[in-house]
Structure 1
Amino acid sequence: MLNEQHLHDLYDACCRTNTLWKNFDIEGFKQFDIQTNVTGQFNRAITKHIRLGQLAEQFIFHHIESIDDYHLIAENIQVKENQRTLGELDAIVNAKNRLVHLEMVYKFYVYDPSQGATEISRWIGPNRKDSLTEKLTKLKNKQFPLLYHEATQKLIRALGIDVSALEQQVLFKAQLFKPYRQNISFEQLNPECLKGFYIQKEQLKAFDNHVFYIPKKYDWLLDPHDNVKWLTLTDFQNAVDIYLSEQQSPLFWVKSPEDKFQKGFLVWW
Structure 2
Amino acid sequence: MISALQQQYIGFLNTPQLVFNSDEFPYSNFQLTEVKKNLPKDFKMPDSIRLGQRMEVLMEAALSSHRYQILSKNLQIIAEKQTLGELDFIVNDLTLKKTIHLEMVYKFYFYRPELTGNWIDKIIGPNAKDKLRFKLNKMSSHQFPILYRPETTSYLKSLNLKAEDLMQQISFKAQIYLPLNHKINEVEILKDPIQGFYFRVEELEFFNKKDFSFYIPHKNDWVSAPILESIKTDSFSVFYKKISAALKEQRSCIFWVFESDIKVQRHFATWW
TM-score (norm 2): 0.90
Cross-structure match for 2:71? 73
Residue by residue over 1:75-98, the C-alpha shift from the partner in whole angstroms, topping out at 9 and shown as x without a partner, is 110111111111111011111211
Distance 1:37 1:160, change over 3 A: closer
- Amino acid in structure 1 at the alignment position of 2:220: Y
CA distance, structure 1, for counterparts of residue 35 and residue 245 of structure 2: 38
CA distance, structure 1, for counterparts of residue 227 and residue 81 of structure 2: 48
Q: Runs of at least 4 residues of structure 1 off by over 3 A? A: 36-40, 184-187
> Shift of the alpha carbon at 1:44?
3.6
Residue by residue over 1:54-108, the C-alpha shift from the partner in whole angstroms, topping out at 9 and shown as x without a partner, is 1111111121121x33211111101111111111110111112111111000011
Corresponding position: 1:47 with 2:50: no
> Shift of the alpha carbon at 1:186?
4.7
Q: Which runs of structure 2 are paired with 1:95-134 in the superposition (5 Å)?
A: 95=93, 96-134=96-134
Number of aligned pairs? 264
Q: Which runs of structure 2 are paired with 1:29-48 in the superposition (5 Å)?
A: 29-35=27-33, 38-42=36-40, 43-48=42-47
**1:110 touches 1:126 (CA, 8 Å); kept in 2?**
yes
Residue by residue over 1:15-67, the C-alpha shift from the partner in whole angstroms, topping out at 9 and shown as x without a partner, is 12111117x5442121011128643424442232211111111111121121x
Cross-structure match for 2:216? 214
**2:10 touches 2:37 (CA, 8 Å); kept in 1?**
no
Any unmatched runs of 5+ in structure 1? none
> Shift of the alpha carbon at 1:206?
1.7
What is the alpha-carbon root mean square deviation over aligned residues? 1.9
Corresponding position: 1:243 with 2:246: yes
**1:15 touches 1:38 (CA, 8 Å); kept in 2?**
no
Residue by residue over 1:249-268, the C-alpha shift from the partner in whole angstroms, topping out at 9 and shown as x without a partner, is 11101112363111111111
Identity %: 34
Cross-structure match for 2:85? 87
CA distance, structure 2, for counterparts of residue 173 and residue 55 of structure 1: 13
CA distance, structure 2, for counterparts of residue 258 and residue 207 of structure 1: 15
> Shift of the alpha carbon at 1:190?
2.9
Q: Which runs of structure 2 are paired with 1:168-187 in the superposition (5 Å)?
A: 168-184=168-184, 185-187=186-188
- Amino acid in structure 2 at the alignment position of 1:29: Y
SS at match of 1:192: coil
**1:16 touches 1:37 (CA, 8 Å); kept in 2?**
no
- Amino acid in structure 2 at the alignment position of 1:160: N
SS at match of 2:128: coil
SS at match of 1:15: helix
CA distance, structure 2, for counterparts of residue 204 and residue 45 of structure 1: 37
- Amino acid in structure 2 at the alignment position of 1:48: D
Distance 1:262 1:173, change over 3 A: same
SS at match of 1:169: strand
TM-score (norm 1): 0.91
Cross-structure match for 1:202? 202
- Amino acid in structure 2 at the alignment position of 1:139: M
Greater Cα offset, 193-202 or 38-47:
38-47
CA distance, structure 2, for counterparts of residue 44 and residue 260 of structure 1: 32
Any unmatched runs of 5+ in structure 2? none
Cross-structure match for 1:11? 9
**1:76 touches 1:89 (CA, 8 Å); kept in 2?**
yes
Distance 1:99 1:120, change over 3 A: same
> Shift of the alpha carbon at 1:242?
2.5
Corresponding position: 1:231 with 2:234: yes
**1:69 touches 1:97 (CA, 8 Å); kept in 2?**
no
CA distance, structure 2, for counterparts of residue 186 and residue 152 of structure 1: 41
- Amino acid in structure 2 at the alignment position of 1:92: I
CA distance, structure 1, for counterparts of residue 37 and residue 140 of structure 2: 33
